[in-house]
Amino acid sequence: MSKNTSTSGVVVGALVGGAVGAITALLFAPKTGQQFRSDIGNQLQSIGQCAKELAASVGTHTKEMVTSVSEQAKDSAQAAVEGVKADVNSMAPTEDDIVKLGKEMDKMSTNSEVKSKGRTPDPAQ
């Protein structure tokens, strides 16, 4: 991502520097008014073309980046879902295990009950 940012910065800097240099050259060159206006028009067309190319390049890079981030997010979400499924199945893989786990949890003290007895509750619960 920083590579794209630095590349864009270099291109923008080159465009701005080229425009400033061209305008400076035009202002100090001895030409008639008609030649001067013609040169300015040509330079503006050149700058406009460079700007179009830059916009197309930025658009392409942005599209590629969005596609990449989207794929990574999809993969991460799928991995998270699979991890949760694995954790759920490891706790209670069958209905009987779920019932047994529920009965065990009913017998467990809540954090407030543990605190009322003067003990420190388990932070994982």
Is the pLDDT at 4 greater than 60? The verdict is: no
Instruction: Tell me what pLDDT residue 91 has.
Output: 59
Angle between helices 33-91 and 2-28 (to 10 degrees): 170
Catalogue the E-assigned strands of 15-120.
Answer: none
Alpha-carbon span 79 to 85, nearest angstrom? 10
**Predicted model pTM:** 0.39
**pLDDT at residue 124 greater than cutoff 70:** no
Amino acid at 119: R
**pLDDT, tens digit, 9 for 90 and up, residues 95-107:** 787 788 888 888 8
In eight-state DSSP terms, residue 117 is: T
